[in-house]
Amino acid sequence: MSFKRTIKKVLLAILGVILLMFIGMGIFMYKALYGINFYDSTPPELPNNFTGNTVLVFSKTNGFRHGDAIEKSLPAFEKMANDNGWKLFLTDNGAVFNSEQLQKFDVVIWNNTSGKTLDEEQRQHFKNYLENGGGFVGIHAAGDNSHQWDWYTQEVLGTLFSHHPIDPQFQTATMYLEESDPKLTIGLDETWERHEEWYMFFDNPRDKGFDVLYTVDESTINPNGNIPILASDKDWGMGEDHPVVWYRPLKKGRVIYSSLGHSGEAFKEPGHLILLENAINWAGRF
Ligand SMILES: [Zn+2]
């Protein structure tokens, strides 16, 4: 084999690897932004005698998967359920969003869900559930822009996600507790320094009638989320009033969203666990 031929083969191989990397990156970006959507059609079986204070933990990800956070959150929710006497059901199965099974739950948690996780019919059941007295707790990615559902963005979240910093992605900042429903504030620190992937939203949910539980002091955060070639308009933050956890009644239901919880570590952090416990107790009227 000639030297030239060998060089040609090596170059082709390198080109192939680069091409595969680009395709891989492309799929990753597409999935993170729009999700690659798979729906479920066979509902799970709920345990017998599933009554009392009941909580559904839904962790389906058709977009970016916060794998570590989801994995660490499940035992944390189980411990919380034990401590509080809740009945817990953990699933990634979107077919549980049917009218018959949903009415068995006092609270539905979207646990770092991403992408479009429900088909149109399942969405309608969830909307009816919330508007008729259901409780909702959204965690971190449940509030990103991958869900493709206007009603959810407007009514449940109250704002549209823009970006998170990437320079660096995780930063330490101080959060401030606001005067809120005592059920939500019990056990929580008034000032709280945390390491997090801080989310930026286009509008302030406070202006949409939501009450705010925590804000973050943005002055120590570099909000820049610009990515070469892909995004050049993300070098901004939410300013002086930057809510990170907010809530409100939604018709007869109750919704609370927390943008915290990117990492698995967050689900070992005592303050964060108290925050989630309070949110579930409040949303479920327990
Ligand atoms: Zn994240």
pLDDT in tens, 170-214: 999 999 999 999 999 999 999 999 999 999 999 999 999 999 999
Which residues have C-beta under 5 Å from ligand 1, the single-atom ion? 197, 262
Q: Exposed (0-12), middle (13-18) or buried (19+): which is 58, by Cβ within 10 Å?
A: buried
> 132 lies in a domain?
yes
Residue 125: inside a domain: yes
| 270 C-alpha to ligand 1 centroid (Å) | 19
Residue indicated by tokens 């804000």: 215
pLDDT band at 1 (very low <50, low <70, confident <90, very high): low
What mean pLDDT do residues 220-248 have?
A: 95
The answer to whether residues 202 and 159 touch, using CB atoms and an 8 Å cutoff, is yes
Q: How far is the CA of 83 from the centre of ligand 1 (A)?
A: 28
Distance 37 CA to ligand 1 centre (A): 19
How many domains in the chain? 1
Dist CA 247 CA 263 (whole Å): 22
Query: Using H for helix, E for strand and C for coil, what is the string for the chain?
Result: CCHHHHHHHHHHHHHHHHHHHHHHHHHHHHHHHHCCCCCCCCCCCCCCCCCCCEEEEECCECCCCCHHHHHHHHHHHHHHHHHHCCEEEEECCHHHCCHHHHCCCCEEEEECCECCCCCHHHHHHHHHHHHCCCEEEEEHHHHCCCCCCHHHHHHHHCCCEEECCCCCCCEEEEEEECCCCHHHHCCCCCEEEEEECCCEECCCHHHHCCEEEEEECHHHCCCCCCECCCECCCCCCCCCCCEEEEEEEECCEEEEEECCCCCHHHHHCHHHHHHHHHHHHHHCCC
Cα–Cα distance measured from residue 114 to residue 66, given in angstroms and rounded to the nearest whole number: 9
28 band by pLDDT with thresholds 50, 70 and 90 = confident
10 exposed, middle or buried (CB, 10 Å; 0-12, 13-18, 19+)?
Answer: exposed
The string of pLDDT tens digits covering residues 47-100 is 999 999 999 999 999 999 999 999 999 999 999 999 999 999 999 999 999 999
Q: Per the domain annotation, does 41 fall within a domain?
A: no
Cis (ω within 30 of 0) for the bond into 75?
Answer: no
Higher-pLDDT residue of 207 and 38 is 207
Domain span at 94: 54-283
CA 75–ligand 1 middle distance (angstroms): 19
Any domain includes 7: no
Q: How far apart are CA 262 and CA 140, in angstroms?
A: 6
CA of 141 to the centre of ligand 1 (A): 6
| Domain-embedded: residue 36 | no
66 C-alpha vs ligand 1 centroid, how far in Å?
6
Q: Residue 12: is its pLDDT beyond 80?
A: yes
Residue 31 banded pLDDT, cuts 50, 70, 90? confident
In a domain, 219, yes or no: yes
What average pLDDT is seen over the chain? 95
Residue 6 Cα to ligand 1 midpoint, Å, equals 44
How much distance in Å is there from the Cα of 140 to the middle of ligand 1?
7
Q: Closest Cα partner for 56 from 126, 158, 150? A: 126
Task: Note whether residue 32 is domain-resident.
Answer: no
**246, pLDDT greater than 70:** yes
Q: What is the pLDDT of residue 80?
A: 98
Q: Is the Cβ–Cβ distance between 258 and 139 less than 8 Å? A: yes
Tell me whether residue 23 is in a domain. Answer: no
- CATH number (domain holding residue 64): 3.40.50.880
